[in-house]
Structure 1
Amino acid sequence: MLTTGRCRFCGRDETPGQHRAPGPICAACVEAGLAIVRDGEARTSAGDTTLLRLLPDAEATCDHCGRHERLTFLGFRRPLARVSCPELESVICEPCLDAAGDLINKTVRES
């Protein structure tokens, strides 16, 4: 299910033909978020907001799943990689970014 409205990470309104994942989060912010998770480098969104990777010990939880850590197979707690937009007070974790990207890609392929 895709959604409409302002992106919670760049603040831009949806334009015709643009797809957004629930949250809502736009494709450009999903792409930037995944790049930040990979390399840790802060980026400026298409809406001119700051996107940055949270430190592992940050307590901020993902706006989508409500988690900030995961349990490993052996029961150890490990922090989730998370991306934040301080200006819009939004946080998303790597698994939710992946799921949002998969959803947007699937919808684009079916269009």
Structure 2
Amino acid sequence: MVTTGRCRFCGRDESPGQHRAPGPKGPICADCAETGLAVVRDGEARSSAGGTTLLRLSPDAEAACDHCGRWERLTFLGFRRPLVRMRCEELESVICAACLDTAGDVINKASRGQGS
């Protein structure tokens, strides 16, 4: 499912032909999903296409992902491990790497006409 509305991470309105992945608090655009994956991969802060600051959260931060509601996961042996997450400082939005990846898949499928 792809949705419309302001992106939770850059604040930009949707433009024609631009797909967004839904989230409980609002959608994420393709640009922010792509930039977010780079942020969580290398830890370097970046500016979004809308001019907001996107940065990787420290492992001890307890800010939950806006999409899945988690900030940690349990390993097979029951150990707690923090999820890698990205935050938009200005819009106070948080998303984990797994939800960024899923959002990218949703947007790619919609772009190819394989989902709605």
Question: Which TM-score band applies after superposition, normalised by the shorter structure?
Answer: over 0.9
The structural deviation recorded for 1:109 is: 1.6
The alignment's TM-score, normalised by the length of structure 1, stands at: 0.97
The structural deviation recorded for 1:108 is: 1.0
Q: CA RMSD in A?
A: 0.8
The structural deviation recorded for 1:74 is: 1.0
Alignment of structure 1 residues 1-111 onto 2, 5 Å: 1-23=1-23, 24-110=27-113
CA distance in 2, matches of 1:108, 1:19: 7
Counterpart code for 2:7? C
Secondary structure of the residue that 2:38 maps to in structure 1? Answer: helix
Percent identical among aligned pairs is: 79
Secondary structure of the residue that 2:17 maps to in structure 1? Answer: coil
Q: Which runs of 4+ in 1 moved over 6 A?
A: none
What is the aligned length? 111
Counterpart code for 1:82? R
Q: Which runs of 5+ in 2 are unaligned?
A: none
